[in-house]
Structure 1
């Protein structure tokens, strides 16, 4: 509560008169406004993507055939390369480049899946380089989700892939 003290003069005598201002309604109004804005604000849910991680416990180690997988290498300047080769066969001729426009990556995944000798073990491998950006990584994961393939892995680029990648990006 606030008090204001004023002096009044009447016929030569000064008389003090106190004025009290009740602040309770203003405090009530502040709480009402605070509650109004809290309840009308839209609380957004964080956008997350479910990464289907394997269960804990013993895992079987299945070697994936080169033709039963497709590898995407994410590079600098929004460039993405893909191949279906091993260390002995990979060269600048079979490391192909695509981009993130439309559903090109989903189509590449679908074509590789159709040609896979063992489709139940078909795997998509994503290998971001140090120059890749996070947006491109999310775009590739989104395309994997669009293509409805559940077997994929994320790993570092191998030295033999890095060598061919460097030849194409220089």
Structure 2
């Protein structure tokens, strides 16, 4: 609490001065209250909850029935740092042409919408990221799959044939 100490001015002789009261405030209860408030707000605050993307993985058990995927119903998408390469068919075919686009809604999203509309529910996307692709690029591409309503997609490592197709195209 606060204390008031009064000194008597104790000198003999000279002018008489009025007594001055000096105040001294004990800050211990104020510090205790501060720490109690900090503790209260730390314990009652809700921290940002992590946003989780749902990703369904196949069972590890081997099944004898494998559903064949037609190459005419498959689009291979290769995300890179700034652009997205895509092609239909096998990278080893001489007729396969690779094209490039970007991550905007007028880029890869319109391509995915058009192919989904043309092919239907059997449309499959194969994602093969380059070494220059970042985590954000993969998340953006998976977001585009969700936005366009494509539920069939696979994430694979990029193969040398796809890398050669990119180099050969010069895009």
In the alignment, what sits opposite 1:113? 116
Conserved in 2, the CA contact under 8 Å of 1:68 and 1:113? Answer: no
> How many angstroms does 1:89 deviate by?
2.5
User: Which runs of no fewer than 5 residues in structure 1 stay unpaired?
Assistant: 1-20
**Match among 58, 71, 76 for residue 62 of structure 2:** 58
TM (normalized to structure 1)? Answer: 0.72
Residues 1:161 and 1:29: Cα distance change in structure 2 (over 3 Å):
same
In the alignment, what sits opposite 2:77? 72
In the alignment, what sits opposite 1:95? 98
Conserved in 2, the CA contact under 8 Å of 1:90 and 1:161? Answer: no
**What is the total number of aligned residue pairs between the two structures?**
146
In the alignment, what sits opposite 2:154? 153
Larger of the two Rg values belongs to structure: 2
In the alignment, what sits opposite 1:84? 88
Where in structure 1 do 4 or more consecutive aligned residues deviate above 6 Å? none
RMSD: 2.6
Name the CA distance, whole Å, in 2 between partners of 1:54 and 1:121. 17
Q: Return 103-112 or 134-143, whichever deviates more.
A: 103-112
TM (normalized to structure 2)? Answer: 0.72
In the alignment, what sits opposite 2:37? 33
